[in-house]
Amino acid sequence: MPINTTVLLRWAVVMMLGAATGCSSGLAPWQRGYLAEPGMRLDGEGAAARLERQYYFSREAARGGQGFGGTGCGCN
C-alpha cells in the first residue's frame, strides 16, 4: 500500500541523514544546560503517558508510532 507521507518522509530524510552521518551538535558541555532540563527530555514512555495512550487505544483505531507494545487489554 503506497504511503502518502510526503511531508513526513522529507522530515525523515533530514533526520536520517543527520543521524547517519553521526553528526555531533558540536556543543560544549556548558552549552547543554537547556537540553538537561526536565521539559526537554525525550525519555521513554512514563506511566502517565502510557495511561493516556491506553485511553486513546481503546477509543481510536490507530496504534503504534510513539508508544511501544500493546496495552494487554481487550479494549480495542
Partner 1 sequence: MLAKTSPVAASEPWEVEAASLIFTEFEKVSGTEVVLSGRTPLSPDAGLTLGAVIDVLIGASPNGATPGNAPQTFTTPSGFDSYTISPGDEPLDDTFQDNRLEVSAVWDRRFSRGVDATAGARWSMEFDYLSFGADTRWNFAGATRDTSWTGAAAVSQDRVHPVGGIPIERASMQPEDTPQPRNNAARTKKVFDLLFGVTQVLGARSVAQLNYSQTYSDGYHSDPYKLLSVVDADTGATLDYVYEARPGTRNVHGFFTRLKHRFDAGVLDIGARYTEDDWGTVSRTIDVRWRKSHADTTYWEPHLRWYSQSAADFYRFSLTDEEPLRGDLSADRRLAEFDALTLGVEWGKNRVDGSAFSASIEYYEQFGDESPDGAVGVQRDLDLFAETRAILVQLSNTFSW
Please give the grid coordinates belonging to residue 74. Answer: 481487550
Q: Is 6 in the site for partner 1 (CB under 8 A)?
A: no
| Interaction pattern, residues 26-45, with partner 1; x per rule: CB under 8 A | -x---xx-xx-xxxx-x-x-
Please give the grid coordinates belonging to residue 76. Answer: 480495542
Q: How far is it, in rounded angstroms, from Cα 65 to Cα 73?
A: 19
- Secondary structure letter of residue 67 according to DSSP: S
Q: Is 10 in the site for partner 1 (CB under 8 A)?
A: no
Q: How far is it, in rounded angstroms, from Cα 59 to Cα 47?
A: 19
Q: Which chain residues interact with partner 1 by CB under 8 A?
A: 1, 3-5, 8, 11-12, 15-16, 18-19, 22-25, 27, 31-32, 34-35, 37-40, 42, 44, 46-48, 50-52, 54-56, 59-66, 68-76
